[in-house]
Amino acid sequence: MSSALHRTTAWPLALATACLIVYASLYPFTGWRDQGLSPFVFLTAPWPRYWTGFDVGTNFLGYAPLGFLLALAALRSGRGVWAISLASLSAAVLSLSLETLQAHLPSRVPSNVDFALNAAGAWAGAVSASLLEKMGVLHRWNDFRARWFETEARGALVLLALWPLALLFPVSVPLGLGQILERLEPALAALLVDSPFLEWLPVRDVELQPMVPASQVIVVALGGLIPCLIAFGVMRGWAHRSAAVLWLLAGGLYFTVLSAALSYGPTHAWAWFDLPVRVGFLGACMLAMLSLWTSPRTATVLALLALSVQLVMLNQASASPYLAQNLQVWEQGRFIRFHGLAQWLGWLWPFAALTYVIMRLCRPEDVPDDSRP
């Protein structure tokens, strides 16, 4: 099937990047006030006297991926002539909007330098996409995607691209994303206090207990298996699937090690890799290899089952007694944790994956039963 029929992943990735930029620019979203000045006064203000290389780098590089993805989406949509202009202008409008909104936040200072660097970064990203297109790199990616993936692979590719980033925030059990019930219950109780809906919340007779090692093995194994099954739902050929297993499990291992290194230092990067986790990783690899020859629809059904079992197991157990201390260490690095965004990604990724696989199963024509790798 021609690669032209594949829907580009650049649009959803560009949207995700734009949401990330909005979150980072307006966090913590509290303390809004009107200063009685024009929100555009920063454009005519003198350039700041003090700035750092870190500020320049983050403002320039922060918008470069957005410009790249917007230009790539325009190129893939047949708007190649206007790709750089559309991408640069769209990113500049977003930056201008956020800088004006920052004028109403006490913890933010709008800056004409930031706006200029944002626009320049987006333009550089858009030019990079255009150059890669002219060099034929994007065409080769299209051919690669056509050989390896089914036509409707956009959602799966976005999920698989976000999965390693979701692993950056410390979790109670490695690869155990989506453990939210223990935090959600007190948050709901605080929200519903002094309302009749407070009585609707369930009351626990027994407190949640930490996981035993056998449960940790299952959670780790399912955590490594789930992205593999999502990939199998859109991939062709057992050889391609085998390569995907190696890449995904290696990526999961690497980003979990990176998370530990950022939290506790390089000397403790492997402290989490105890016997239950090692057995769980081995189990994930074995289960993924046993699933290589399943049809795409069967792989999607298994992904739904694995997600459901893992989420139930995680949310019927309490967090590790050391997790609170771990999170305290992590949150000392504001830019590493990116204002809590990594935590939200770790919480919500499995539920986004659950929604995706259900939608896939509701469209049987996209994953036919007789479609064998």
Report residue 204 CA to chain centroid gap.
33
User: At residue 36, what are phi and psi to the nearest 5 degrees?
Assistant: 75, 15
Residue 168 has pLDDT above 80, yes or no: yes
Q: Higher confidence at residue 152 or residue 4?
A: 152
- Band of pLDDT at residue 8, cut at 50, 70 and 90: confident
| Most confident segment among 27-36, 307-316, 339-348 | 307-316
**Alpha-carbon gap, residue 143 to 145, rounded angstroms:** 5
Q: Which of 92-106, 199-213, 232-246 has the lowest mean pLDDT?
A: 199-213
Banded pLDDT at 1 (limits 50, 70, 90):
very low
Q: Is residue 208 over pLDDT 90?
A: no
For 46-86, write each residue's pLDDT tens digit: 666 666 666 777 788 889 999 999 998 888 776 666 888 88
By the 10 Å C-beta count (0-12 exposed, 13-18 middle, 19+ buried), 315 is classed as middle
Q: Are 353 and 226 in contact (CB under 8 A)?
A: yes
The pLDDT tens digits for 277-335 are 999 999 999 999 999 999 999 999 999 999 999 999 988 887 665 555 555 555 544 44
Q: Which residue has the tokens 């260490």?
A: 329
First to last CA, the chain: 15
Both tokens of 18, joined, read 């734009």
- The C-alpha atoms of residue 219 and residue 213 are separated, in whole angstroms, by 10
| Domain boundaries along the sequence of the chain | 3-148, 154-361
Q: What is the pLDDT of residues 257-271, one digit of tens each?
A: 988 887 777 787 888
Element (H, E) at 216: helix 213-232
pTM, two decimal places: 0.72
Which percentage of the chain shows pLDDT scores above 70?
Answer: 77
CA torsion, points 345, 348, 350, 351, in degrees to nearest 10?
-160
Q: Which two tokens stand for residue 194?
A: 């002094």
pLDDT of residue 372: 41
